[in-house]
C-alpha cells in the first residue's frame, strides 16, 4: 500500500463526517457515500469524490470505513445488496467505526475474509469534539497487519490507538467504555441536582470537585454546556441507549451481572420516552430533574 492509500468513507453523520474530513485534510484521496446527500456535497466541495453505492466505494479504494447507527446497518452495508462485499477485492481493508455487537463484527469479518478482505472493528470514543479535533480514542479488534498498514490514517483521526485483540475485541472495549460513559453522565446529573435542591450553587460544586478524585472527561467537558442551557448533541441519547442495549445483551451472553449499568439503561430508556431521544447523552439530567421536581436552571 502506498503512503497515501485511497480511502472510502460510508456514513457521514456527526462523527463520520468529521472523521472523513480529517482524513481528506491529511491528503488522502477520499471517496464518500451517505444515505442523505447534504454531507456528501459538503465533502465533495472540499475535494472528495462521491459514489452512488457502498459497492462502488469499495471497488475504488484501498481502505473503506463505515460509521453507522447499529449492527443491522453495518451488516447491510457490508454484506447486503450493493454492499461492500460486492465491490470487495483482495487486499481491501474494512474499518468499522460504528458501535455494534461483538458477534456482528466477528460475522462480518468472517464473511469479508472469504473475499480476501481484512476487517478491523474500530469503535471510537471522544464525542463530536474528539472527532473534529482528531483526538479520538480508537479501540481496535482484528489482525495486527491490517492495523499496521492503516496507522498513518488512524494517526490523523485519533490520539490513542489501542489494539485490543482479535475480531470483536474492539467492540467489547467500546461496550466497556459505554458502561463508564453512562455512569458518568448519570452521576453528573445526580450530583448537580443534589447540589441544586440542597441549596448549593451547582457550578461552584462542580468547580470544587473537578480537581479531586471525581475528575473525569465528563466533568471537564459537559457542565459548561449544561449550565448554558445547551443540551444539543454531541452524542445523541438514543445512541447511548442503543449502546447500553449492546452492553446488556453482551452481559447476558456471558453471564456477567451489571446492576448499575442496568439502572442506567433504564434511565436512558426513560429519557427516550420523555421526548429527549435526540438530545445529548448528558441531557439524562432531565430525567433526574423530573424525578426530583427541580430544574438545573431554576432561579
| Residue positions annotated with a catalytic role | 174
CA distance 23 to 26: 5
CA distance 63 to 91: 9
Question: Which letter does DSSP use for residue 277 in this model?
Answer: T
What residues are paired with 163 via a beta bridge? Answer: 140
Give the residue from 125, 294, 299, 152 showing the smallest Cα distance to 218.
125
CA distance 2 to 53: 25
- State how far the alpha carbon of 54 is from the alpha carbons of 78, 97, 200, in Å: 8, 15, 54
Q: What are phi and psi of 140, to 5 degrees?
A: -115, 130
Cβ atoms within 10 Å, residue 199: 6
Amino acid at each position: 500500500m502506498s503512503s497515501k492509500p485511497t480511502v472510502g468513507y460510508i456514513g457521514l453523520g456527526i462523527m463520520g463526517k468529521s472523521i472523513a474530513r480529517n482524513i481528506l485534510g491529511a491528503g488522502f484521496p477520499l471517496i464518500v457515500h451517505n444515505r442523505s446527500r447534504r454531507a456528501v456535497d459538503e465533502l465533495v466541495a472540499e475535494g472528495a469524490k462521491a459514489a452512488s453505492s457502498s459497492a462502488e466505494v469499495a471497488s475504488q479504494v484501498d481502505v473503506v470505513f463505515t460509521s453507522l447507527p447499529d449492527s443491522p446497518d453495518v451488516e447491510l452495508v457490508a454484506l447486503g445488496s450493493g454492499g461492500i462485499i460486492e465491490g470487495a477485492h483482495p487486499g481491501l481493508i474494512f474499518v468499522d467505526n460504528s458501535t455494534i455487537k461483538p458477534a456482528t463484527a466477528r460475522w462480518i469479518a468472517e464473511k469479508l475474509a472469504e473475499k480476501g478482505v481484512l476487517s478491523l472493528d474500530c469503535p471510537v470514543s471522544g464525542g463530536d469534539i474528539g472527532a473534529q479535533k482528531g483526538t479520538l480514542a480508537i479501540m481496535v479488534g482484528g489482525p495486527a497487519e491490517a492495523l499496521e498498514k492503516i496507522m498513518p490514517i488512524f494517526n490523523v483521526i485519533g490520539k490513542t490507538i489501542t489494539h485490543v485483540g482479535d475480531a470483536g475485541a474492539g467492540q467489547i472495549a467500546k461496550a466497556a467504555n459505554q458502561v463508564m460513559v453512562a455512569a458518568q453522565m448519570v452521576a453528573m446529573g445526580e450530583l448537580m441536582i443534589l447540589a441544586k435542591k440542597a441549596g448549593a450553587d451547582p457550578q461552584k460544586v462542580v468547580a470544587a470537585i473537578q480537581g479531586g478524585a471525581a475528575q473525569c472527561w465528563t466533568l471537564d467537558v459537559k457542565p459548561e454546556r449544561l449550565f448554558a442551557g445547551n443540551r444539543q448533541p454531541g452524542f445523541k441519547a438514543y445512541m447511548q441507549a442503543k449502546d447500553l442495549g449492546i452492553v446488556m445483551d453482551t452481559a447476558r451472553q456471558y453471564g456477567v451481572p451489571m446492576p448499575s449499568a442496568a439502572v442506567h439503561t433504564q434511565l436512558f430508556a426513560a429519557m427516550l420516552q420523555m421526548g429527549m431521544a435526540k438530545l445529548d447523552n448528558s441531557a439524562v439530567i432531565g430525567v433526574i430533574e423530573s424525578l426530583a421536581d427541580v430544574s438545573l436552571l431554576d432561579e
